[in-house]
């Protein structure tokens, strides 16, 4: 009977232990939603430049096709970051010492999760999911870029208030994106509206672009988005898309400082053993007392 009880106990322990490691990381991290909310703040038509025969660029004066992002239109840029919580810093004092900028304040540089290395130098911490942009722009990490998404942004974590903010002087960089744009008809001298792979006639990914934020956190721009030749795919022009707004940080949606840490596997087995042995002993005692 005891052998059967022991087998059931071991099965239960193994089942519990199989999910412990994710639980420990989960308890020491927080998933922080980060969003830039703003509007299109400059007319794309005013930024289009076409490459001239001598290699210089001149303002485009022809008909501008309808572009999905119009001046004054609302736009949002968002992604989730996996950040260390106060519990993580308490459990990793050496790392805390290297990132602490002031009492209770820690600087963390985010990198894309695709890189496999977060801003803490530890996979899975200080990482960010692919960036999403509202509207017709494709998510970061477009497969035509030949690689995963890229992102860099430095945040400050306040362990006392359990809040996040952009570090002074930090900027936001993300890519690669594909989206609505133009190709240039060299015969007619006109722009043609395109979207996604249609903006890349040669299929080289030359149309992809990145987003860059200013250090004040009030503007995000896609500078010099390529306009390719509609036949050859050669670079025929450039334009810029600019958003003005502000960044916001949601509260932790998972993990965080108020979640009870899950014991390590070895500790879990010890706790379970300490709990189950008295139970077995009580059962044995009752068995001996029975008539």
Domain ranges of the chain: 28-248
pLDDT > 60? residue 17:
no
Taking residues 84-94, what's their average pLDDT? 84
Sequence-distant (6+) residues with CB within 8 A of 4 are none
> What are the distances in angstroms from CA 232 to CA 22, 156, 200, 201?
50, 46, 9, 7
Among 23-37, 129-143, 148-162, 196-210, name the one with the lowest average pLDDT: 23-37
- pLDDT tens digit sequence for 98-140: 888 888 898 888 888 776 667 776 777 888 888 999 999 988 8
In terms of C-beta density within 10 A (0-12 exposed, 13-18 middle, 19 or more buried), how is residue 13 classed? Answer: middle
- Report the DSSP pairing between strands 173-177 and 209-213: antiparallel
The stretch 147-161 carries a mean pLDDT of 83
Q: Over 80: is that where the pLDDT of 252 sits?
A: no
Distance CA 139, CA 253 (A): 22
In the prediction, which pLDDT does 117 show? 67
**Which pLDDT tens digit goes with each residue over 71-86?**
999 999 999 998 888 8
Q: Are 194 and 201 in contact (CB under 8 A)?
A: no
* 37 or 269, greater pLDDT: 37
């Amino acid at each position: 009977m005891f052998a059967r009880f022991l087998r059931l106990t071991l099965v239960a322990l193994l089942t519990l232990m199989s999910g412990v490691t994710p639980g420990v990381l989960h308890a020491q991290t927080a998933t922080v939603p980060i969003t830039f909310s703003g509007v299109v703040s400059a007319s794309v038509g005013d930024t289009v430049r076409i490459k001239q025969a001598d290699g210089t660029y001149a303002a485009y004066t022809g008909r501008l096709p309808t572009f999905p992002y119009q001046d004054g239109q609302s736009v949002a840029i968002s992604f989730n970051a996996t950040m260390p919580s106060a519990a993580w810093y308490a459990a990793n004092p050496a790392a805390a010492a290297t990132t602490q900028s002031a009492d209770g304040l820690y600087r963390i540089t985010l990198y894309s999760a695709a890189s496999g290395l977060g801003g803490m130098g530890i996979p899975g911490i200080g990482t960010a999911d692919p960036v999403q942009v509202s509207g017709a722009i494709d998510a970061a990490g477009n497969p035509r870029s030949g690689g995963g998404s890229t992102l860099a942004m430095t945040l400050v974590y306040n362990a006392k208030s359990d809040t996040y903010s952009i570090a002074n002087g930090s900027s936001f960089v993300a890519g690669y994106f594909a989206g609505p744009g133009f190709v240039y008809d060299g015969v007619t001298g006109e722009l043609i509206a395109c979207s996604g792979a249609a903006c890349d006639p040669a299929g080289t990914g030359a149309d992809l672009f990145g987003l860059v934020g200013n250090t004040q956190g009030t503007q995000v721009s896609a500078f010099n988005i390529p306009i390719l030749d509609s036949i050859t795919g050669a670079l025929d022009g450039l334009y810029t898309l600019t958003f003005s707004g502000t960044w916001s940080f949601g509260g932790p949606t998972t993990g965080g400082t108020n979640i009870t840490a899950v014991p390590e596997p070895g500790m879990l087995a010890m706790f379970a053993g300490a709990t189950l042995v008295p139970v077995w002993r009580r059962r044995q005692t009752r068995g001996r007392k029975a008539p």
